[in-house]
Structure 1
Amino acid sequence: MKKEFYRLMLGLTNNSFYNSIIKEFTNKRVSKILIPSFSKTFGINEEELARPYSDYKSLSDFFSRELKEGARQLSEMENDVVSPVDGVISEAGTVTEDMSFPVKGKKHSLKTMLGLEEAVNRYAGGEYCVFYLSPKDYHRIHAPYYGTVVRRWALGKYSEPVNALGFNFGKEPLATNYRLVTEMKHDGGRMAVVKVGALNVNSIHPVHVDKAVVEKGREMAYFSFGSSVVLLFEPGTVAIKEELKGKVTPVKQGETIGVWRG
């Protein structure tokens, strides 16, 4: 019962008024009384937390919690591409010839998602990987591979839910919601990290804001509410693990999801 309550509260619906109330409440100090219950309900490992429950100012503060150093194991293999987040891989594969990719049976346009024609042409025919973060997950986003940030851009204003409701009734939620795109360059090619906002919240907070070299595993941003991340790779540069394709797979930040071969 509690789990359903928290999922309803933080999973977000298609009611903008309701969502604004929830956002306001979860940012208030009084909401911190729910932190122990929320943590217990979703089985969050207290030993991983960088701070004790008492140090969090609100439920929202806890939702975007940091972890202790070493709580996630980063693959040390040089060519390994790693998961940028905790969550599930809901889809993985190759962007089709018509510059689209399916997510839960719904076609998403690469052109709509990226907006920039140059970027669309670059990633057409390349590999993609979609990560969904539920309310219980660690909501900080890390670099999946080494690279230098070459540009960032934001698109979209209104956001549909990225839960089952959004995919059943929305129009390409991952390609039309508010999103912040970070494009990175490596010797072997480019990749894009697309951070997708949730309904009427759009709470994506960049952490890494310069154009310096980004080390694999470095924190790049975090979500204030649950949402999704889409990784895009140029054709021929990355081989996504075959066992991740065609099924929903839980992953932790830092786990290997593919190999850079570009």
Structure 2
Amino acid sequence: MNHAPVPSPRARWRDRLLLQEDLNFLLTNRVPRAALTRFMGWFGRIEQPLVRRASIAVWRACTEIDLSDAQEREFSSLHAMFTRALQPGARPVDMDPQVLTSPCDAIVGACGPVAGTQVFQAKGFPYEIGELFGDAEAARPWHDGVYATLRLTSAMYHRFHAPHDGTLQRLTYLSGDTWNVNPIALRRIERLFCRNERAVLRMRLDTGHAIALVPVAAILVASIRLHCMDTLLHLRTLGARPRDCAERFAKGQEMGWFEHGSTILVFAPRGFALCEGIAEGTRLRMGQALMRLPA
């Protein structure tokens, strides 16, 4: 009588991991994403004390969120906790003028040179930057440049800041879906960043170099908010037409925030380089060195 071979501990561990990934993917992506995102935007703002305390307690129990450096001790809603400000000095900023700093707290995803017009969201999953920017011409300054994918988890500080002294020159809103942007989804859904709702922020540094920040929304991210708008409105109110700006930011100055965790893609032109130690999996805090300007 033939018996099936007994799986090794390594094989059992791999099977469990794949099952967990499948379950995570199913729960976060095979659901009515837009409806769930709108619901989260509404629910997160409820200030009724019982709902507020329960939702914050559940979120803290399920994540590694650290509120020790928050400016406030008590929050009026779950949304207020997500979009919290920090105590002064909680994020020291590298003021070296030759350094482009991380605009946010993040885990570094795919990063490195832009191969002509192509970058990766995960190993084996390339995409064209022209599609990400919504226009091949708009992506031209970053051909053969350098990029970094910065993923914010739901437990992280959600605000993002200017990576260098400069002027925000153009803002473009691109409508799209709200797929989860976690590593599991990035390994399974092609061109995910190009499918999701996103903004393209083109900034001219005081050094004369142009850079781009591309905040990408995701499931449960009710909106991306930007201070350069007259009022803090949902990006959809802008429509698809690019908006010219002349908003000056000092290095480290707050530019806006996500209402949940998501991703910011940073693009710089040829001549920039990733700083030492920046690689996939690196954990960064806002203000730490991310890229080095051309000598």
Same fold (TM over 0.5): yes
Tell me, which stretches of 5 or more residues in structure 2 are unaligned? Answer: 1-19, 230-244
Pick from 258, 261, 278 the counterpart of residue 226 of structure 1: 261
For residue 190 of structure 1, report the CA deviation from its aligned partner: 0.3
For residue 83 of structure 1, report the CA deviation from its aligned partner: 0.7
Pick from 63, 74, 81 the counterpart of residue 62 of structure 1: 81
Amino acid paired to 2:47:
R
Separation in structure 1 between the aligned mates of residue 29 and residue 107 of structure 2, nearest angstrom: 20
**1:195–1:222 Cα change, 3 Å:** same
- Is residue 178–residue 202 contact of structure 1 (8 Å, CA) maintained in 2? no
**1:199–1:148 Cα change, 3 Å:** same
Pick from 61, 84, 89 the counterpart of residue 108 of structure 2: 89
Deviation string, structure 1 residues 64-112 (Cα, Å, up to 9, x no partner): 1111111101112221111111120112101112x11012221121011
Matched with 2:236 is none
- Is residue 100–residue 109 contact of structure 1 (8 Å, CA) maintained in 2? yes
The alignment partner of 1:61 has SS state of: helix
- Is residue 113–residue 175 contact of structure 1 (8 Å, CA) maintained in 2? yes
Separation in structure 2 between the aligned mates of residue 66 and residue 147 of structure 1, nearest angstrom: 22
Q: Percent identity?
A: 23
Which residues in structure 2 correspond to 1:100-249 (within 5 Å)? 100-105=118-123, 106-186=125-205, 187-199=207-219, 201=221, 203-209=223-229, 211-236=246-271, 238-245=272-279, 247-249=280-282
Amino acid paired to 2:179:
E
For residue 144 of structure 1, report the CA deviation from its aligned partner: 1.0
Matched with 1:48 is 69
Structure-1-length-normalised TM-score: 0.86
Deviates more, 1:28-37 or 1:132-141: 28-37
Matched with 1:254 is 287
Pairing 1:24–2:31 present:
no
For residue 214 of structure 1, report the CA deviation from its aligned partner: 1.4
Separation in structure 1 between the aligned mates of residue 142 and residue 179 of structure 2, nearest angstrom: 24
Deviates more, 1:129-138 or 1:211-220: 211-220
Separation in structure 1 between the aligned mates of residue 130 and residue 137 of structure 2, nearest angstrom: 10
- Is residue 41–residue 220 contact of structure 2 (8 Å, CA) maintained in 1? no
Tell me, which stretches of 5 or more residues in structure 1 are unaligned? Answer: none
Q: Which has the larger radius of gyration?
A: 2
Deviation string, structure 1 residues 161-203 (Cα, Å, up to 9, x no partner): 1123432432312122111111011233100010101137451
Matched with 2:31 is 15
Separation in structure 1 between the aligned mates of residue 189 and residue 145 of structure 2, nearest angstrom: 25
Matched pairs, number? 249
Amino acid paired to 1:73:
P
Separation in structure 1 between the aligned mates of residue 193 and residue 270 of structure 2, nearest angstrom: 21
For residue 22 of structure 1, report the CA deviation from its aligned partner: 3.6
**1:160–1:45 Cα change, 3 Å:** closer
For residue 156 of structure 1, report the CA deviation from its aligned partner: 2.5
For residue 254 of structure 1, report the CA deviation from its aligned partner: 0.5
- Is residue 12–residue 19 contact of structure 1 (8 Å, CA) maintained in 2? no
Separation in structure 1 between the aligned mates of residue 88 and residue 256 of structure 2, nearest angstrom: 17
Deviates more, 1:182-191 or 1:32-41: 32-41
**1:27–1:109 Cα change, 3 Å:** same
- Is residue 141–residue 219 contact of structure 1 (8 Å, CA) maintained in 2? yes
For residue 43 of structure 1, report the CA deviation from its aligned partner: 4.2
Separation in structure 1 between the aligned mates of residue 59 and residue 133 of structure 2, nearest angstrom: 35
For residue 26 of structure 1, report the CA deviation from its aligned partner: 2.3
Pairing 1:35–2:56 present:
yes
Amino acid paired to 1:188:
G
